[in-house]
Amino acid sequence: MNSQILDKVVESGVCGIKKAELKKIFGNECEPSLAELTHDERIIVDNKGVAHYVWTKENYLSHISQNDPKFKILSKLVKNLENSVNQMRSQISADKNDPDLSFQAQFDDSISKLSSSLGWVPLSDIRQKVCDSLEIPQEKFYSLTSSLIESNQAKYEISTGGQEGITVRGMLHGYVRKL
């Protein structure tokens, strides 16, 4: 009987079918079937005026989106939110595909985690962490580090010393800190 009731509900479309009409067709024995279909979330029973109507989920959503102003507003808000989330996801994936942004994020994160109380971190320590994370060779690390520091001089300060680092004006700079 469940499938017969479900067929009638599907046939009713967006308008739905009165629960009383289903009782006329199938008799009072349809109550347990309606309860089971409702429990399985295959149908929705709701008031439309003073009568109880029965819809499929899809048809019910169409019905309330056409007839309920509050639902229309919420639906638009949800769609806008969904679009915003999708834009953020695509931006994040684009950022992941941009190795320079990924490098800078890893570089900054390493400085934050490895810095002393004065903020200085040996470039060799940062290199180990970033190269392991991004799977880049030492030469690429120091090339990206030089570019990053040159283009962000107000953000980073470098200091001479250390066993390895970047050469600026003929001197080896092996320490860095964020300003």
pLDDT of 2: 86
Pick left, alpha or beta for residue 135 (phi over 0 → left; psi -120 to 50 → alpha; otherwise beta): left
Distance (Å, whole) CA 124 – CA 130: 10
Tell me whether the CATH fold assigned to 1-97 matches the one assigned to 98-178.
yes
Q: Does domain 98-178 have CATH number 1.10.10?
A: yes
Q: Does domain 1-97 have CATH number 1.10.10.10?
A: yes
Residue 15: CB atoms within 10 A of its CB come to 12
16 contacts 63 by C-beta, under 8 angstroms: yes
pTM recorded for the entire structure: 0.48
Summarised one tens digit per residue, pLDDT across range 81-136 is: 999 998 888 776 665 555 556 888 889 989 988 887 888 999 999 999 999 888 88
Give the start-to-end residue ranges of the domains of the chain: 1-97, 98-178
Summarised one tens digit per residue, pLDDT across range 130-150 is: 998 888 899 999 999 999 999
